[in-house]
Amino acid sequence: MSHDNPEIGEFLDLLGNNTRRRILESLTNEPKYFIQLSKEIGVSQQAVLKHLFLLENFGLIESFKAKSNLAAPDRKYFQLNRSVYLSIGITGNSMEIKMENIKGPNKIRSKNNMAIESKEVSIKKDKEITDILKNTKHKLELLAKRMQELEDEKIHLLKEKQQILEITHQVIRESLKEDLARRILYSNLISREITDIEELSETLNTREKEIKIVVKSLEDRFSVDLI
Amino acid sequence: MSHDNPEIGEFLDLLGNNTRRRILESLTNEPKYFIQLSKEIGVSQQAVLKHLFLLENFGLIESFKAKSNLAAPDRKYFQLNRSVYLSIGITGNSMEIKMENIKGPNKIRSKNNMAIESKEVSIKKDKEITDILKNTKHKLELLAKRMQELEDEKIHLLKEKQQILEITHQVIRESLKEDLARRILYSNLISREITDIEELSETLNTREKEIKIVVKSLEDRFSVDLI
């Protein structure tokens, strides 16, 4: 079950902090060193370092050294490192938390580009940027639109699920006096099959033997196969 | 911007706690009173009360009094109260956090059903449960399948966005020396238009006058309208 994944809790906890969200948002643009971040976000260098450590520890960001353009020593830059998608849906009768690591083609590493400071910017590059500001932006807008449609449909389905579960839970509640019997049916509703008595025993914090007896009586009474 | 919504932070922080997630998960099934929750989850009553208070304070759950079936005093039950959908997508070059309150038909209140303990369960109810275990379960599976498809497409689009932004950011980084110029373009890429210099001034923590000058020079150089 979702609540058993300690990584989800850690991830939610990390993102629960406003400064950390702002650091991540800032790093979406380009790698930065911590003094830059501190200045941009308006938070003390010490605090930024603390948050960067937590984010790096979880693997959301990584650091690398790059040459400074001045005669100064190398700078430690931070950049986003991990692609994650998480969705949470809570309705009156259901809760689902899903976290998926997005695997994709490896990022083009920026390590070698941080120190580039060419004075002459080629006309070719200028045209590329014009194109980005016209066409790429439009592509990104289309992507955003489609993603919004997906979210909307998801919310619509969550509502539908809510309505079904509302009635379902109501009926179960009115028909079954025994706590354990209800909990077994609730479990059965959201998972495919109660194949694993052992797992159910753990989830419901109840002895396997007891579960088996109740499952059997439910199967007989409602003429269904639960296992 | 998403990081400015303090409610998102509070919500993420609330869900960052494993016990609170387990309480919510348990309440998806039916309203419960805190001793029941404490027993079910295996956490001290005091701790459960503390978490229930936080969840109720945020509006995720609500409490109501219902008659006990014994001669005992009324019990205070807790149930889910608020429907929320939240999604987080972080890739190497983008981060989006969206939270939406799901508005739907009002829940059928359970208040009046908690004390019902009819000894005779009607045959009609039994048939309803048989139907739920056969047909409703199948409906819920179809809903879950479609929701998974939506998530998969969303992840696919996030990857696409990541690839576009990777190249885009690379070009911008290589072409523009000035920090502010780059930040203005990054902002422009993810938002529709830089219509509001004032807002941009706040986001970029830079004076409006300075922004106007850089925007003007970008517009001239790349022959685009940013404002």
Q: Which of A190, A207, A189 is nearest to A198 (CA)?
A: A207
Query: Is the domain of A190 the same as that of A213?
Result: yes
Query: Is the domain of B151 the same as that of B193?
Result: no
What pLDDT score was predicted for residue A73? Answer: 78
Q: What is the DSSP letter of A118?
A: -
Q: Is B78 exposed, middle or buried (0-12, 13-18, 19+ CB in 10 A)?
A: buried
CB contact under 8 A, B87 and A166: no
Residue at which a domain ends, from A77, A104, A131: A104
Residue at which a domain ends, from A156, A175, A194: A175
Size (chain A), residues: 227
When divided into structural domains, chain B yields a total of 3
User: Domain range for residue A55?
Assistant: 1-104
Q: What is the CATH number of the domain that holds A94?
A: 1.10.10.10
- Residue B38 falls in which region: left (phi positive, over 0), alpha (psi -120 to 50) or beta: alpha
CB contact under 8 A, A17 and B6: no
Chain B hits for A171, Cβ within 8 Å: 125, 128-129, 132
The shortest CB-CB distance from B16 to any of A13, A163, A222 is to A13
CB contact under 8 A, A168 and B81: no
Is the minimum CB–CB distance between A104 and chain B shorter than 8 Å? Answer: yes
Is the minimum CB–CB distance between B69 and chain A shorter than 8 Å? Answer: no
Dist CA B216 CA B227 (whole Å): 9
Residue B111 lies in a domain: no
Residue B123 lies in a domain: no
Residue B84 lies in a domain: yes
- The residues pairing with A65 across neighbouring beta strands, listed in sequence order, are A76
Q: Which of A209, A22, A6, A195 is nearest to A97 (CA)?
A: A6
Q: Is B138 exposed, middle or buried (0-12, 13-18, 19+ CB in 10 A)?
A: exposed
List, as own/partner pairs, every contact residues A211-220 make where C-beta atoms lie below 8 angstroms and the sequence separation is at least 24, other chains included: A211/A180, A211/A184, A214/A178, A214/A180, A214/A181, A214/A184, A215/A184, A217/A181, A218/A181, A218/A184, A218/A185
Dist CA B200 CA B44 (whole Å): 49
Query: Is the domain of B152 the same as that of B217?
Result: no
Q: Would you call B207 helix, strand, or coil by DSSP?
A: coil
For residue A3, pLDDT over 60 is answered with no
Query: Is the domain of A165 the same as that of A184?
Result: no
Query: Is the domain of B95 the same as that of B20?
Result: yes
Q: Which two tokens stand for residue A5?
A: 């994944």
The shortest CB-CB distance from B98 to any of A84, A141, A151 is to A151
CA-based nearest residue in chain A for residue B192: A141
**ipTM (interface predicted TM):** 0.82
Is the minimum CB–CB distance between B70 and chain A shorter than 8 Å? Answer: no
Residue B154 lies in a domain: yes
Is the minimum CB–CB distance between A12 and chain B shorter than 8 Å? Answer: yes
Backbone angles phi, psi at B180, to 5 degrees: -65, -40
The shortest CB-CB distance from A173 to any of B80, B113, B226 is to B113
Query: Is the domain of A201 the same as that of A151?
Result: no
What pLDDT score was predicted for residue B24? Answer: 94
Dist CA A32 CA A23 (whole Å): 10
Query: Is the domain of A184 the same as that of A88?
Result: no
Is the minimum CB–CB distance between B176 and chain A shorter than 8 Å? Answer: yes
- Looking at every residue in chain B, the average pLDDT score rounds to 84
State the nearest Cα–Cα gap between A161 and chain B, in angstroms.
Answer: 7
Q: How confident is the model at residue B57 (pLDDT cuts 50, 70, 90)?
A: very high
Residue A61 neighbours by CB under 8 Å, 6+ apart: A24, A27, A52, A55, A78, A79, A80, A81, A82
For residue B123, pLDDT over 90 is answered with no
Half-sphere exposure of A214 (CA within 13 A, CB side): 22
Strand order in the sheet with B75-80: B32-33, B75-80, B61-66
Query: Is the domain of A1 the same as that of A92?
Result: yes
Residue B92 neighbours by CB under 8 Å, 6+ apart: A79, A80, A81, A83, A107, B162, B165, B166
Query: Is the domain of A99 the same as that of A23?
Result: yes
Dist CA B112 CA B157 (whole Å): 46
Residue at which a domain ends, from A76, A104, A132: A104
Query: Is the domain of B180 the same as that of B163?
Result: no
For residue A132, pLDDT over 80 is answered with yes
Dist CA A18 CA A38 (whole Å): 14
Is the minimum CB–CB distance between B74 and chain A shorter than 8 Å? Answer: no
What pLDDT score was predicted for residue A24? Answer: 94
Residue A111 lies in a domain: no
What pLDDT score was predicted for residue B122? Answer: 64
Dihedral, CA of residue A188, residue A194, residue A196 and residue A201, to nearest 10: 50
Chain B hits for A35, Cβ within 8 Å: none
- Looking at every residue in chain A, the average pLDDT score rounds to 84
User: pLDDT tens for residues A177-207?
Assistant: 888 899 888 888 877 666 688 888 887 878 8
Is the minimum CB–CB distance between A202 and chain B shorter than 8 Å? Answer: no
What pLDDT score was predicted for residue B1? Answer: 46
Residue A133 lies in a domain: yes
Query: Is the domain of A24 the same as that of A89?
Result: yes
What pLDDT score was predicted for residue B158? Answer: 92
Dist CA B50 CA B207 (whole Å): 45
- Which of B69, B102, B116, B166 to mutate against chain A (most A CBs within 10 Å)? B102
What pLDDT score was predicted for residue A53? Answer: 96
Residue B149 lies in a domain: yes
Query: Is the domain of A169 the same as that of A181?
Result: no
Residue A115 lies in a domain: no
CB contact under 8 A, B130 and A28: no
